[in-house]
């Protein structure tokens, strides 16, 4: 049970309903936070302070600071009801928080209700990092309390400090149309590739990585093209990826701060030992399928699609590639039903397979 301890008094509460962000400059300065299971009577443990590091991904002037005492319970945290009520919908239930900690451990953002722990681990210390909390399963719930439980060192010293800022409720779809998003294992790490058909007011893409399909950390940012009706191609290399499985998604951000998320893709493994062209999946398909291939050496690679009469109908890849495993989406939106041939050539290696468009 929480032992509620009065933190400090602010002048008034500001509702976040309809707002995009609690940023502690314009929204949140006057929130009343209460800390629990920490240290009785110490009103200095939570405070609105200057940003400890105005570089990187968070350059705002102010943020919140929470200090967990050495003898505090492991679930010590803070809560506020001044940001409520917030009704979760499909458009505002992916929540991000800027976090700056002096230890690597879980950070728990809990909305009450549903009063379910949502823990995401930060991956760096003394550096701002954006963590993402997925509340899409709770769409329809109206939350009345926001609770932050920062965790900390397993063996605490005198103080364990966490700063947090910019609690953002993603709430407005933006007019950027993704046409593909894929990941490939290469010599230097994992390469992410994606494309868009149109963009409006597109600032760029946050690259998010997780070790499971639910909790993600921001690892990079790729600038967008603003407003354009031309097809655009993007890529990002995760050079810090080790052997094992990872999950990636993109958060596309407009210049006005609104955003949306891409689908989740999976990547991992090592440089392949043999050349290989895999069977497309799904097959039969309508209208999009995915084709995976592997090359063992840097090669000039072409991947083409032909109809049953041998006429070329699409060129999916025509470029130099590093050794690795790749995937590419193929859309048959403008093709008739029937059997098609796809052909991979990488140096001296050539392989073909059949696929079926069924409309």
Give the pLDDT confidence of 277-291 residue by residue, as tens digits: 999 989 999 888 989
Specify the pLDDT at position 21.
Answer: 78
Same-fold call for 177-268 versus 276-357: yes
Q: Of 166-170, 234-238, 270-274, which range is least confident?
A: 270-274
Over residues 172-191, the mean pLDDT reads 77
Say which residues have a Cβ less than 8 Å from residue 55's Cβ, sequence separation at least 6: none
Entry field: residues in the chain: 359
Residue 253: predicted pLDDT: 87
Q: What is the structure's pLDDT at 11?
A: 27
Report the SS3 class of residue 341: strand
Q: Residue 357: its pLDDT value, please?
A: 94
Q: Examine the pLDDT at 354 and tell me if it is beyond 90.
A: yes
Alpha-carbon span 79 to 57, nearest angstrom: 25
Q: Where on the phi/psi map is residue 187: left (φ > 0), alpha (ψ -120 to 50), or beta?
A: alpha
Domain boundaries, the chain: 4-169, 177-268, 276-357
Using a pLDDT cut of 90, give the percent of the chain over it. Answer: 28
CATH 2.60.40.10 fits 177-268, yes or no: yes
Is residue 239 over pLDDT 90? Answer: no
Mean pLDDT of the chain: 82
48 C-beta neighbours (distance < 10 Å), count? 17
**pLDDT > 70: percent of the chain:** 88
Mean per-residue pLDDT for 15-36? 74
pLDDT score of 288: 87
What's the pLDDT score for residue 17?
39
Give CATH superfamily name and number for 276-357. Answer: Macroglobulin (MG2) domain (2.60.40.1930)
Residue 304 has pLDDT above 80, yes or no: yes
pLDDT higher at 300 or 172: 300
The pLDDT value given to residue 41: 62
28 CB contacts (<8 Å, ≥6 apart)? 14, 16, 22, 64, 83, 167
Query: Residue 323 — φ and ψ, nearest 5°?
Result: -60, 135
3-state class (DSSP) for residue 269: coil
pTM of the model: 0.48
- CATH fold for domain 4-169: Jelly Rolls (2.60.120)
Residue 219 phi, psi (nearest 5) = -115, -10
Residue 306: predicted pLDDT: 97
Rounded to an integer, the average pLDDT of 157-171 is 80
């Amino acid at each position: 049970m929480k032992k509620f301890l009065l933190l400090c008094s602010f002048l008034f509460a500001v509702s976040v309903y309809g707002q995009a962000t609690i940023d502690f400059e314009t929204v949140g300065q006057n929130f009343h936070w209460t800390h629990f299971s920490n240290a009785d009577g110490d009103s200095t443990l939570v405070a609105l302070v200057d940003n400890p590091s105005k570089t990187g991904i968070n350059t705002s002037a102010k943020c919140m600071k929470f200090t967990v005492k050495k003898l505090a319970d492991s679930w010590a945290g803070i809560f506020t009801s001044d940001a409520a009520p917030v009704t979760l919908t499909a458009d505002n239930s992916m929540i991000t928080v800027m976090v700056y900690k002096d230890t690597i451990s879980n950070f728990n953002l809990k909305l009450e209700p549903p009063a379910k722990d949502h823990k995401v681990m930060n991956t760096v210390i003394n550096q701002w990092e954006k963590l993402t909390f997925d509340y899409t399963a709770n769409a329809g719930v109206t939350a009345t309390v926001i609770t932050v439980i920062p965790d900390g060192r397993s063996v605490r010293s005198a103080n364990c400090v966490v700063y947090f800022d910019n609690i953002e409720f993603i709430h407005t779809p933006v007019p950027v149309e993704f046409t593909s998003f894929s990941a490939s294992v290469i010599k230097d790490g994992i390469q992410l590739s994606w494309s868009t058909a149109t963009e409006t007011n597109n600032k760029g893409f946050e690259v998010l990585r997780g070790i499971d399909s639910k909790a993600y950390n921001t690892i990079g940012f790729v600038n967008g093209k603003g407003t354009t009706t031309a097809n655009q191609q993007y890529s990002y290399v995760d050079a810090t990826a080790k052997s094992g499985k990872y999950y990636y998604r993109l958060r596309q951000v407009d210049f006005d701060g609104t955003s949306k998320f891409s689908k989740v893709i999976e990547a991992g493994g090592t440089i392949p030992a043999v050349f290989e062209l895999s069977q497309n999946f799904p097959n039969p398909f309508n209208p999009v399928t995915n084709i995976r291939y592997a090359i063992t050496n840097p090669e000039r690679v072409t991947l083409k699609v032909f109809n049953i009469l041998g006429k070329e109908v699409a060129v999916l890849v025509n470029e130099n590639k590093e050794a690795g495993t790749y995937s590419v989406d193929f859309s048959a939106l403008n093709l008739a039903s029937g059997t098609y041939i796809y052909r991979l050539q990488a140096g001296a290696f050539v392989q073909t397979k059949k696929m079926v468009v069924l409309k």
